Amino acid sequence: MQPHAFVAMPFGTKPSADGQSIDFNRVYAEYIRPALEAAGLEVFRADEEQRAGDIRSDMFQELLIADLVVADLTLDNPNVWYELGVRHALRARGVVLVQGPRPNQPFDIYTDRKLRYSLRDGGPDPATLEQERAALTAMVSASMASSTRRRVSPVFQLIPQLEQPEWRKLMLAERNEFSEAYESWASRMEVARQKNRPGDILVLADETPMRALLLEAKRTAGSALLKLKQYDLALEQFELALTIDVDDKPSREKKAVCLARLRQFEEAREWVRRLTGDYPRDAECWALAGQIEKERWIGLWRQEGLSPAQMREAAGFENAALGEAIEPYQQAFVADPAHHYSGINALTLQLLRQHCGGDSDPTVIANLSGGVRWASLTALERDRKDYWARASYAELCLLLNPIEVVRKEFSHMVAAANQDWFALDSTRQTLSLLRDVEFRPAETAAALVVVEREIARSAQPFEPRQVILFSGHMIDAPGREPPRFPADKEGIAAQQIAQALDGLGVGPCDLALSQAASGGDLLFLEACQARGARLQVMLPFAEPEFVERSILPASNGEQWRQRYFALTAAAALEPRIMPNDLGPLPQGGRRASMNAFERCNLWLLYSALAWGVDKVRFISLWNGGGGDGPGGTGHMYGEVKRRTGRVAWLDTRKLW
């Protein structure tokens, strides 16, 4: 989505202080609007003819959430001053001031930097217009690129503790085009999140109906990828979020998690050190510091091929690193005694330290035990279905109670999971750690039996060995000139596709993603189906329209139609329909010119990458032509090649 600029200025022709007429419509059309558009912004202008208190809701909403407000202070226009005051009161940054000739300067903004423009015959002076327009473009670009820590508003400068409201709190009570666009987009994002479809989320994140949502969109995309353990891609999303707001706490936290999972521990530790410095009483930040130190400690001694006794001995040698993990968890629990997650981690690590021969303090252990019991049981009083409170209490019982109690509490815990595979797997990882160092082996084994049994009954997400992505030409319609994929070349294309698949060893453990047009798409899907791969057809239109537009126009279109229905009938997964899952094509911003086929290719690309960059293999049956915009075959080819290099280009110019 392009950033928005709201222009607060007089409207029509108005007399200046010396009585000369100024045509502000010309100032807007010739000076302000072109300069803003050159900086990459969409422009919305205020209309002074609206009476105070009767400003249109869309206009007022734009004033509040626009990325930039440009205020023309040539005249002492009450509406312009009112709008500037509202912006300064509610937003800390994002204001640029311009003015034409005037005899004096308003006292309240006398020291503020303003760009001046020249006038002649009531409009912008042609002699200086180009230079002044370029200066405004440069100032706008610099303002948009400046740090989000910089406060432009005099209100926020004078009250340093004043916090800018988050954008949701600036949504008007009256429904308007912004709230309607947001509700539609947010609903689709939530469905994609619940269905665990990060590819959908990545597309929707690029199509936010307003730029104010982009931060949330990137966070959501990163969290979905983090859940799938795609740490590199998740890190990309959180870093993009931080380019929008360098101080965004959730993105800073998740970036630290990604760095730790990528075993970049020094970078993660530095990142979280800054967080705890900025939020010294925040339990989540301290718990994150503990999590990173815990993962670092585990990485120092856990190795495949070692026996539990050997791992226990190796873990004992890393007593100092274990202490560095315990300390921040205890800091988190002190900061918030209701934070049972940090409490149970501090207690577990204390007991593991004791178990591995390190120092322990019985008083600290007793205090932590009582605190975790209170925190987890209190959380369960608030919500009996709180899985993580159940998990904390069950782990507490595993640490301290007899085996019968352990079985009982872990049974309660898995019931609360409601077959959430990811939650159960997180608990399994904790139990595996305890098993590896032989901590209370009988109790740990009993808990693992309960959890493993429930995991076996839960729907484990399909995890493909490879993701084979395809894009290619349709069979030519009769009489196409010049020919691109003549019908009589079908056999050559099918043979080349088959060879590419065999070279990759495609089989039942792999996932094939493609549209299903006559020609390359269907040849690819049929070949993958013959090799037992799982197919996911993704269509840019509802099925009847897709058949009409992408199958029947080909030579022998009716035969291709029959092949399409035979293929989809035998596939385990139903075709996904883009308008149903992603909604209509975006109408504004940088994606407005994208057609349905390009958007579907982008959807395919993101869905493939979300399984893991290292798993993606791209096959294209392509003549090297077409545009280079997002979603085209060229874009897909370049993006996969850039990330993995694992592409197979079947160049139709050389095949026939």
Percent of the chain whose pLDDT exceeds 90 = 69
Q: Give me the number of domains the chain comprises.
A: 3
Burial of 364 (0-12, 13-18, 19+ CB in 10 A): middle
- Clarify whether residues 435 and 580 are in a common domain: no
Task: State the number of CA atoms in the 13 A half-sphere of 143 facing the CB.
Answer: 28
pLDDT for residue 48 is more than 70: no
Instruction: State the CATH number of the domain containing residue 55.
Output: 3.40.50.360
Element holding 169 (H helix, E strand) = none
Sign of CA dihedral 463, 465, 468, 469: positive
Residue 168 belongs to some domain of the structure: no
The C-alpha atoms of residue 249 and residue 163 are separated, in whole angstroms, by 14
Residue 191 belongs to some domain of the structure: no
Structure tokens at 472: 């290619």
- Clarify whether residues 31 and 126 are in a common domain: yes
Q: What is the pLDDT of residue 591?
A: 52
- Clarify whether residues 364 and 388 are in a common domain: yes
Which candidate, 526, 464, 534, places its Cα nearest to that of 498? 526
- Clarify whether residues 350 and 485 are in a common domain: no
Residue 190 belongs to some domain of the structure: no
Distance of CA 166 to the CA centre of its chain: 18
- Clarify whether residues 416 and 502 are in a common domain: no
- Clarify whether residues 481 and 446 are in a common domain: no
Instruction: State the CATH number of the domain containing residue 320.
Output: 1.25.40.10
- Clarify whether residues 421 and 329 are in a common domain: yes
Which candidate, 516, 531, 509, places its Cα nearest to that of 597? 516
Looking at 21-25, 43-47, 153-157, 405-409, which range is the least confident one? 43-47
Average pLDDT over residues 441-446: 98
Residue 207 belongs to some domain of the structure: no
The C-alpha atoms of residue 505 and residue 501 are separated, in whole angstroms, by 6
pLDDT for residue 369 is more than 70: yes
Q: What is the pLDDT of residue 204?
A: 92
Residue 623 belongs to some domain of the structure: yes
Structure tokens at 632: 């085209």
- Clarify whether residues 513 and 406 are in a common domain: no
Q: What is the pLDDT of residue 513?
A: 98
Reported as a single tens digit per residue, the pLDDT across 496-547 is 999 999 999 999 999 999 999 999 999 999 999 999 999 999 999 999 999 9
Local confidence band at 107 (pLDDT 50, 70, 90 cut-offs) = low
Q: Are strands 123-124 and 119-120 parallel, antiparallel or unpaired?
A: antiparallel
Higher pLDDT among residues 291 and 636, named by residue = 291
- Clarify whether residues 236 and 313 are in a common domain: yes
Average pLDDT over residues 136-151: 82
Local confidence band at 448 (pLDDT 50, 70, 90 cut-offs) = very high
Higher pLDDT among residues 47 and 623, named by residue = 623
C-beta separation of 480 from 507 below 8 A: no
Reported as a single tens digit per residue, the pLDDT across 462-473 is 899 999 999 999
Peptide bond into 126 cis (omega under 30): no
Neighbours of 318 (CB within 10 A): 19
Local confidence band at 49 (pLDDT 50, 70, 90 cut-offs) = very low
The C-alpha atoms of residue 273 and residue 558 are separated, in whole angstroms, by 64
pLDDT for residue 631 is more than 50: yes
Task: State the number of CA atoms in the 13 A half-sphere of 464 facing the CB.
Answer: 27
Which candidate, 319, 310, 349, 344, places its Cα nearest to that of 438? 310
Looking at 52-56, 268-272, 276-280, 530-534, which range is the least confident one? 52-56
Distances (CA, A) of 67 to 87, 143, 360, 419: 11, 10, 54, 43
Average pLDDT over residues 154-173: 84
The C-alpha atoms of residue 178 and residue 6 are separated, in whole angstroms, by 14
Task: State the number of CA atoms in the 13 A half-sphere of 453 facing the CB.
Answer: 12
Reported as a single tens digit per residue, the pLDDT across 230-257 is 999 999 999 999 988 888 999 999 999 9
- Clarify whether residues 29 and 131 are in a common domain: yes
Burial of 636 (0-12, 13-18, 19+ CB in 10 A): buried
Q: What is the pLDDT of residue 109?
A: 55
Instruction: State the CATH number of the domain containing residue 580.
Output: 3.40.50.450
Paired strand residues for 15: 21
Average pLDDT over residues 329-336: 97
The C-alpha atoms of residue 170 and residue 149 are separated, in whole angstroms, by 20
Task: State the number of CA atoms in the 13 A half-sphere of 367 facing the CB.
Answer: 10
- Clarify whether residues 243 and 390 are in a common domain: yes
Q: Whole-number mean pLDDT of the chain? A: 90
Q: What is the pLDDT of residue 17?
A: 81
Local confidence band at 148 (pLDDT 50, 70, 90 cut-offs) = low
Which candidate, 484, 490, 496, 517, places its Cα nearest to that of 649? 496
Reported as a single tens digit per residue, the pLDDT across 568-606 is 999 999 999 999 999 998 865 445 556 898 899 999 999
Residue 421 belongs to some domain of the structure: yes
Task: State the number of CA atoms in the 13 A half-sphere of 508 facing the CB.
Answer: 0
Q: What is the pLDDT of residue 110?
A: 43
Residue 193 belongs to some domain of the structure: no
What is the three-state SS of 194-207? HCCCHHHHHHHHCC
Neighbours of 287 (CB within 10 A): 24
- Clarify whether residues 251 and 395 are in a common domain: yes
DSSP annotation of 474:
B
Domain interval for residue 66: 4-160
C-beta separation of 72 from 8 below 8 A: yes
